[in-house]
């Protein structure tokens, strides 16, 4: 067991460093493992892995992606563009329902997308108070490149997991859905 008495021994082939990364890792984790038990330790490792995965995705998109345009587009924006692309002429209310976000949040996002020249608002000919949402040519280009991006991700996923791809898709989908439910319950949200 490493000593914390302040005495430091030199590292050599015959005397490996007592403070190596693996030693430090075991020193730090051992008390938690003893106090928590193996299942709780694995639970924390799962949470750390999940957070690292989320952080990696967020980092890769933090400055936005161009999706075949000269405009930086953030994840929430491109998914709004994709939703409009699947239903050109959709109302703000219907789109907010489809995306499961509030109308004020969506209105703010649409304002940004209109400003970027990716979406346009048109008056509804049947109800002059209502507006419909349409992709501009640049918005359509971004939507197409986003679709290609997902196709490339799928191809990479299939290549990585091979014959197990279908089972992994089902497993990850169930796991992520269950984690979402767990997260809502754990945080006390509806």
CATH of the domain at 116: 1.10.10.10
Q: Is the pLDDT of residue 44 over 90?
A: no
User: Is the same domain home to 54 and 94?
Assistant: no
Taking residues 38-55, report their average pLDDT: 87
Is 139:81 a contact under the CB 8 Å cutoff? yes
| Residue from 51, 80, 33 nearest 179 by CA | 51
Domain membership of residue 7 (yes or no) is: no
Domain membership of residue 143 (yes or no) is: yes
| Radius of gyration over every alpha carbon of the chain, rounded to an integer in angstroms | 25
Q: What is the pLDDT of residue 22?
A: 53
The residue from 12, 37, 59 where one domain ends is 59
Taking residues 4-31, report their average pLDDT: 49
For the chain, give me the number of helices (H) and strands (E)?
Answer: 7, 3
The residue from 14, 41, 59 where one domain ends is 59
User: Is the same domain home to 122 and 136?
Assistant: yes
Better-predicted residue by pLDDT, 120 or 126: 120
Q: Is the pLDDT of residue 34 over 80?
A: no
Taking residues 99-111, report their average pLDDT: 97
Rounded Cα–Cα distance for residues 112 and 72 (Å): 12
Domain membership of residue 10 (yes or no) is: no
Phi (first) and psi of residue 135, to 5 degrees: -85, 140
The residue from 8, 39, 59 where one domain ends is 59
Better-predicted residue by pLDDT, 179 or 105: 105
Rounded Cα–Cα distance for residues 65 and 74 (Å): 6
Q: Give the structural domain span for 37.
A: 29-59
| Residue from 115, 132, 114 nearest 123 by CA | 132
* Count of the separate structural domains present in the chain: 2
Taking residues 159-184, report their average pLDDT: 93
What is the band of 19 on the pLDDT scale with cuts at 50, 70, 90?
very low
Domain membership of residue 169 (yes or no) is: yes
Taking residues 115-142, report their average pLDDT: 94
Domain membership of residue 20 (yes or no) is: no
């Amino acid at each position: 067991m490493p000593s914390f008495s302040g005495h430091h021994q030199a590292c050599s082939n015959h005397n490996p460093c007592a403070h190596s990364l693996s030693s430090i890792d075991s020193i730090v984790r051992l008390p938690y493992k003893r106090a928590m038990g193996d299942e709780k330790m694995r639970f924390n490792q799962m949470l750390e892995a999940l957070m690292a995965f989320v952080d990696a995705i967020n980092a890769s998109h933090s400055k936005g992606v161009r999706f075949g345009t000269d405009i930086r587009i953030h994840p929430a924006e491109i998914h709004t563009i994709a939703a409009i692309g699947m239903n050109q002429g959709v109302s703000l209310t219907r789109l907010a329902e489809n995306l499961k976000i509030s109308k004020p949040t969506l209105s703010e996002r649409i304002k940004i997308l209109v400003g970027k020249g990716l979406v346009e608002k048109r008056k509804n000919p049947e109800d002059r108070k209502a507006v419909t949402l349409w992709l501009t040519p640049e918005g359509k280009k971004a939507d197409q490149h986003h679709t290609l991006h997902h196709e490339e991700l799928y191809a990479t996923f299939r290549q990585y997991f091979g014959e197990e791809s279908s089972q992994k898709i089902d497993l990850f989908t169930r796991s992520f859905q269950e984690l979402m439910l767990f997260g809502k319950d754990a945080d006390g949200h509806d």
